[in-house]
Amino acid sequence: MLGLHLTADLHDCRCAPHWLQDAPALGQACLEAVAASGLQAVSQLVHPFPAGPNGPGGVTATVLLAESHLCVHTWPELGAVTLDVYVCNVGADHAPQARALQARLLALFQPGRQRLQELQRGSLIEAAQPLAA
């Protein structure tokens, strides 16, 4: 379980509207950001949501990484995005690549406001010891 979990809540995104609404374009941008960051995409699922009474529908884009995952959720009616990057660091330290991936996506969405969080998950000591019931 040793890894790094990055989350970002992005508000007032100034990107072109299609990055928040166009599922194929966002999915491709996620794959390109993963590759440019030095991580390995294994699979991808992108789901568009229909327009609603408050405006155009958003997108959920998930990229399964050999190192773990990337998830992006957009709310075009709010100009908002949440993103989640988790990398396993057992075989190697993938933290620099995870941070680079997050930075690429921040540059894509151009938030006016953002809340970034980092969570160190697990440890080698914990991994070596049995879990208590």
For the annotated catalytic residues, the residue numbers are 68, 73, 88
Does residue 90 come out as left (phi exceeding 0), alpha (psi in the -120 to 50 range) or beta?
A: alpha
Q: What residues does 11 pair with on adjacent strands?
A: 113
In contact, 56 and 77? CB cutoff 8 Å: yes
CB atoms within 10 A of CB 102: 21
In contact, 101 and 85? CB cutoff 8 Å: yes
Enter the tokens of residue 2: 């040793």
List of residues 6+ apart from 31 with CB closer than 8 A: 41, 44, 63
